[in-house]
Structure 1
Amino acid sequence: MCRLKYLRLILSKPLTTDNNILNGMQWKSFLSTSFIFLKTFNFKFSIQQTSEQDIYDLLNTFKSKWWLKKKRWFVEYDAHQNVLITVPYFASKTFNNHHSYSFGFIQNLEIFYSNINYLNIDLHKYNEFEQILSVSQSVVQPRFPHVTRLSLNGYLTTHVYDKIQNNIDLSMIKHFEFSSTINTTETLIELINNMINLSSIHIQYLHSLDLFIEPLSPNHSIRHLVLFDYEPTTRKQLFYHICRLFPRLTHLTIDYHSREEFCYLLNELAYLEQFTLRLTKDQDAPNYGWIKQYSRLQMNAFELRIFNMTHKGRQLVLWINTTNNMEVHRHRQHHKFKMCSVQ
């Protein structure tokens, strides 16, 4: 008799639905006699294309009291991968409303929702997402209690915001991505303010200046900022407010415009560890010697590399040794950097 306590099985070769490996009753008979010490059993079995009725029949073999009450092992069908899985171990951690979800196959909605840590919502397809939220009214709110990364694309209305606030624990969000060409600043600010543990923001938003000009107090918890597709004529004001609002940034990614603005951001953001610039194919990027001469990095070791990006121009990445950053920051007022002011 085997004294095995933990068992995990992954079969990538698709099985036909009449295979005993996919039968919960067969597993119960086998495990309850040969593996009586087994505490944890997780599996992922690929299935050949079959009918919905066959899937329901398979899932029903895993619904006995032995599976659900005694062992508390839960089995689901993942339609995207066409696999039979135990949850939450093999359950998906991402949710994207571009995909269609067969909620009729899901045996335990709370396990499904609670396992999601990345939520990607295309607001152009919001109706589909709202239908998903109305699948079961009995699910404990918020439906998504463990989402740490939230991505929204499109027009953020107050109705959508209310739904998000009611169904997602916003205090868990650490990484937020947003892209839109429509002005939705007021609602967006309210959403961000409720993400009290946010540390990373990725914004592709034409009206970014409106977003950053309103908050009065610096936010010391934001360490990563990616900013694209803002109105070009506002960038000097925008860069000023970025430095004012996020003085503890360690990672910044933006489009490259000029050496003057590059130098301004580099000198003002004393905690930067990585500065990434998106370049067009024809832009002349600052070189190592120029940066050493005209920026605060006279006093820091740094590394500079330029990467060719497929169909997207080039990318300049600056890695900074931050050992002396605080020393530089304290004495910066005594050191005049030429060519680096933003009017």
Structure 2
Amino acid sequence: MTITTTKKLFGAVVAAGLVIALAGCGSAPEATPTETEAGGGAVEGFLPCMVSGTGGFDDKSFNQLGLEGLEQASAELGVDNISVESNTTSDFAPNIQSVLDQNCTLVVTVGFDLAAAASEAAGANPDVQFVSVDDIVDTDFDEKTDFPNIKPIIFDTAQAAFLAGYASADFSTTKVVGTYGGKPFPTVTIFMDGFKQGVDYWNEQNDGDVKVLGWDGTDGVFTDAFVPDPAAENAVRGLIDQGADVILPVGGGIYLSAASVIRDSGKDIALLGVDADVFETDPSVADLLLTSIRKAIDVGVSKAIIEAGQGNFDATPYIGVLEDEGVGIAPFHDFEDKVAPDLQGRLDEITAGIIDGSIPVTSYLNK
């Protein structure tokens, strides 16, 4: 196992990150924070740190957005930060311990699969503040966050995925759309839930019969990973072979497998991004993107860190929704001239309906 620690320098000049790789499972990185220009009003000794999910900080998705939030907050506060990248799930606990050993006062864990490790660390370190991205850290399933020193940052992405599903159904010429995910965690299937509901709503409003492949509301297609691999490629081929001409991959870098298979197919197939506006974060697939289902992880992380840094840590869960722009869909970018001229207007009306409750969207957060 390799543990990689990245340190970012802020101040008058932004320096390149220092990367230190250490071999041996459980070994703590020996990095120390770089000096930064102070003056952001942070409490004395405040040191925010982050542990990534297995997709890595260059996943063009939730890990990258989390790191951007850490860096933005650190710059505003004028403090140091430490970030540690996880390569496998076995890295989670050692990586959290590594930043605790470096006297981090706030630890951000990025991704639902870190919940168990975060819970254990938070319970053992009640004086350290934790921020959990994409999971409420409820390991005993009592519908409450395990410890009062953990702040969950979660997103009702079903609302935004509903809009993407409606747009996909409207755009599709084969009237077949598809989706697949990394692992069947609620924070993955919430995208698929909203996507299917959006397609169903389009069918209802337009007397249509667009089919959704890869998710039936309870079961679907999953690759068991959040990186591009043969399993993801096979999943995409299966969807394309059944006629899907819009595809939603949910989970870190698995969209890269979709892009590769789409290009190899030679067919006109559109791709949907998740988490970030992938058109901006990964220009290599920009020409394939109909839109992206966004959740403002960077904004949520930055806000939580700044509040904690100023001595105002609040463990109340943050839930991003359409109304506060915590979730949303990206512009159509290169597809602007390919979608129906009135589509954006209809999406604006649907957005208003979701916000005022006249168009219900269900997810595991509101069932």
Instruction: Report the TM-score, using the length of structure 1 for normalisation.
Output: 0.29
Greater RCO (CA < 8 Å, at least 6 residues apart): 2
Greater C-alpha Rg: 1
Report which of the two has the higher share of strand: 1
In the superposition, the TM-score normalised over structure 2's length comes to: 0.28
